[in-house]
Amino acid sequence: DQQVKQNSPSLSVQEGRISILNCDYTNSMFDYFLWYKKYPAEGPTFLISISSIKDKNEDGRFTVFLNKSAKHLSLHIVPSQPGDSAVYFCAASPPTASKLTFGTGTRLQVTL
Amino acid sequence: NAGVMQNPRHLVRRRGQEARLRCSPMKGHSHVYWYRQLPEEGLKFMVYLQKENIIDESGMPKERFSAEFPKEGPSILRIQQVVRGDSAAYFCASSIGGNTEAFFGQGTRLTVV
């Protein structure tokens, strides 16, 4: 049972344009959400997080939106840069547990 | 401030041998998590530890796998009698507290031959 889903395994975006990565979850107990970026042969790097009391969090080029009623979150990267090419994982946790449940990842390719 | 340190980065074991994976959390972090990533899959939670205590081991296989986080020294993930299906990347993460950002190490890639 995949509680966190990233339905797009890959995404290609031109440099300078917006990248939108999507994530859906099924467990209504999740209240804390994170995005991680991962390069090959490296560990995931924390990007940005959002708690369920907010619907938007922004950090530089990265913005995460949370729609609790739809159980959907998205990561926007504006403007996209070639160095953003990586696999992006969304993750979630409920308030009573610290473990993260990860999606299967979306591979972003930013082209010149 | 060094990040989460895992060693070894690569580990090759023959079937039936033991694998020991080590993780030193970031300075000031007392919460450690182990995750496993199989090829072409996301990361799967295995175990959550605080110093000298296992808090949540709901993701650990019932047999052959164990984890510890002693008062002194790194956290250890131990896999006894490894099988080919144990081949994966094992990531350790640490955090200051529960439900805060967890920072990951570079992982240990275990290959069972």
The tokens for B91 are 């990531």
DSSP string, B9-67: SEEEE-TT--EEEEEEPPTT--EEEEEEE-TTS-EEEEEEEETTEEEE-TTS-SSSEEE
Please check the confidence at residue A30 and state whether its pLDDT lies above 80: yes
Mean pLDDT score across all residues of chain A: 94
Chain A residues with CB under 8 Å of a chain B CB are 4, 32, 34, 36, 41-46, 49, 89, 91, 93, 95, 97-105
pLDDT tens, residue by residue, B13-44: 999 999 999 999 999 899 999 999 988 788 99
CA distance A45 to A38: 6
Q: How far is CA B79 from CA A83, A104, B19, B90, B98, in A?
A: 36, 24, 5, 11, 26
CA distance A43 to A56: 26
Residue with tokens 């160095």: A83
Q: Does B102 touch chain A (CB under 8 A)?
A: yes
Phi first, then psi, for residue B85 (nearest 5°) are -70, -10
Q: How high is the pLDDT of residue B100?
A: 73
Q: Does B75 touch chain A (CB under 8 A)?
A: no
b (16+ CB within 10 A) / e for B76-110:
bbebeebeeebbbbbbbbbbeebbeebbbbbbbbb
Query: What is the band of B107 on the pLDDT scale with cuts at 50, 70, 90?
Result: very high
Query: What is the band of B112 on the pLDDT scale with cuts at 50, 70, 90?
Result: very high
| DSSP designation for A62 | E
Residues in a beta bridge with A19: A77
Q: Which of B44, B101, B105 sits opposite A46 (nearest CB)?
A: B101
Per the CB < 8 Å rule, is B102 touching A103?
A: no
Averaged pLDDT, B75-96: 96
Please check the confidence at residue A41 and state whether its pLDDT lies above 90: no
Please check the confidence at residue B72 and state whether its pLDDT lies above 60: yes
Averaged pLDDT, A80-87: 97
Averaged pLDDT, B88-93: 96
Q: How far is CA A52 from CA A23, A60, A100, B76, B102, in A?
A: 15, 21, 15, 34, 18
Please check the confidence at residue B1 and state whether its pLDDT lies above 60: no
Please check the confidence at residue B79 and state whether its pLDDT lies above 90: yes
Q: How high is the pLDDT of residue B97?
A: 80
Q: Which of B31, B95, B104 sits opposite A43 (nearest CB)?
A: B104
Residue % of chain A over a pLDDT of 70: 97
Q: C-alpha angle with apex A102: A109 to B111, nearest 5 degrees?
A: 80
Q: Does B10 touch chain A (CB under 8 A)?
A: no
CA distance A7 to A49: 20
Q: C-alpha angle with apex A72: A8 to B43, nearest 5 degrees?
A: 55
Query: What is the band of B99 on the pLDDT scale with cuts at 50, 70, 90?
Result: low
